[in-house]
Amino acid sequence: MDKRFHIRPYTFRGRLLLFLLLAAVAACVISAAGSFMMGIGAIGNEMKSNEHELAVYLLSLEQKTELSPADMLVMTTNEELVGNIVEHPEWHLSAEDVSRLRSGELITQTSGFTVMPITYLKLRDEIISIHPSRDFNTFLSVLPRVGFTILLSLILFAILSILISFLISRPVTQLTQATRKITEGDFSIRLPEEKPGEMGELMRSFNKMTEELSRNVYLQKDFISSVSHEFRTPIASIKGFTRLLQMPGLDETSRQEYISMIAQEGDRLSRLSETLLRLSALEQQMTPASLSTFQLDEQIRQVILQLEPSWSAKQIDWQLNLEPVTIESDAELLMQVWTNLLQNAIKFSHDGGEIEVSVTKLDHAEITVADHGIGMTQETQERIFDRFYQGDTSRSKEGVGLGLCLVKRIVDILHGEIRVRSVLHEGSTFRIRLPYQLNAAKGAQHDAR
């Protein structure tokens, strides 16, 4: 039998069912007490009605016969009601009650909650009392009604409890089964989200979690595939050129060319390994390693000067609009950002082109890097921050496709924002927004949560 359908005492359904059954027992005890009190009242009313009927019958019998009160009582006595002649009425009745009886009225007395009523009447010249017989037990009369009420309540409550427990625990059962499928590697499972309240919120959160897990698994597989491909290509080139170097009769020019190609591929492998290590470290890093206060505009000028050999070779002009901006952030990480962005701008600019860089002081520091080079398609813009993605495959040997991924990760660590806008054959513009003080940005994000 499938274990999932066992009602075990420590499952959510079992605990819920136990709680409902305990609630049922408590409800039955309360209802039994109420039923008992109502039963006592109902039996008292029935007895009062029966006593009145018997009294009326005795009065009519008095008019029709010449029998004495004692004989009439013997004729009308039954198992439930007994009639007796009251020898000392003043002991049981007030003078006013006795006067009313002598005028032909009926008087019914009750005392206490469980004491049955007693009806008095005047028969001939005697005062007669009609009351339940000694064999009549009030509690035994009430118990069948109370027992039936308890039994019916238990049956109905038990049935409703089982149904309610199954209905309430059904989402939990679905969640348990879905979790089991996730542990087996199936991330396509989705739960219905239309349920109201906390359970619906839980299922929506579960679906979001599975989507993120599915995405992470896909990215992990894609990352492994991409890394394997990126390493395989230079390794294959190195192996191919190595075999060419082993060919007999190889001239010196070809040998030097092959050695140069092997060195280039080796450098490419080295850059790839270093970048992967840096990216791995950044993905594990949640906060900046060190904070310092520095001039953002001066830092960008330093990066432009360091890249002078690259842009001088292409005769690129610079349009700089750098407002003085002081920020508190991680200077080392930001150096990596500006280096990658400016290298890309230089690489994808035409010879004799122009690159515009601006630093603007708003409610945040806004940095813009714009080139007028080859630009990007919409598809490339959507994937530009993915690992190993290179929109211009003709220049794939110039990089490893991780630069902008590193930039995005660093900007996220520094609580900033990066956007790209590009038009094919017209150029690309990267816009970055950074907080002036990183600690203030953390506090603002915490308050927003």
Contacts of 438 (CB under 8 A, 6+ apart): 288, 291, 328, 329, 330, 414, 415
Contacts of 290 (CB under 8 A, 6+ apart): 330, 332
Q: Please give the tally of structural domains in the chain.
A: 3
Out of 228, 251, 284, pick the residue that ends a domain. 284
Residue 275 in domain? yes
Instruction: Identify whether residues 203 and 317 lie together within a single domain.
Output: no
CATH at residue 309: 3.30.565.10
Instruction: Identify whether residues 267 and 328 lie together within a single domain.
Output: no
Lowest mean pLDDT among 8-12, 66-70, 96-100, 367-371: 8-12
**Rounded alpha-carbon distances, angstroms, from residue 53 to 7, 18, 46, 81:** 58, 51, 11, 11
Q: What is the DSSP string of 220-252?
A: HHHHHHHHHHHHHHHHHHHHHHHHHHTSTT--H
Q: CA-to-CA distance for 82 and 382, rounded, in angstroms?
A: 100
pLDDT at position 221, please? Answer: 65
- Phi/psi of residue 424, each to 5°? -60, 130
When the pLDDT of each residue in the chain is averaged and rounded to a whole number, the result is: 76
Q: Which of 82-96, 334-348, 388-402 has the highest mean pLDDT?
A: 334-348
Domain carrying residue 318: 287-448
pLDDT at position 126, please? Answer: 83
Tens-digit pLDDT profile for residues 239-291: 888 888 888 877 888 888 888 888 877 877 776 666 666 656 656 555 666 78
pLDDT at position 394, please? Answer: 44
Out of 156, 186, 216, pick the residue that ends a domain. 186
| Percentage, residues of the chain above pLDDT 70 | 72
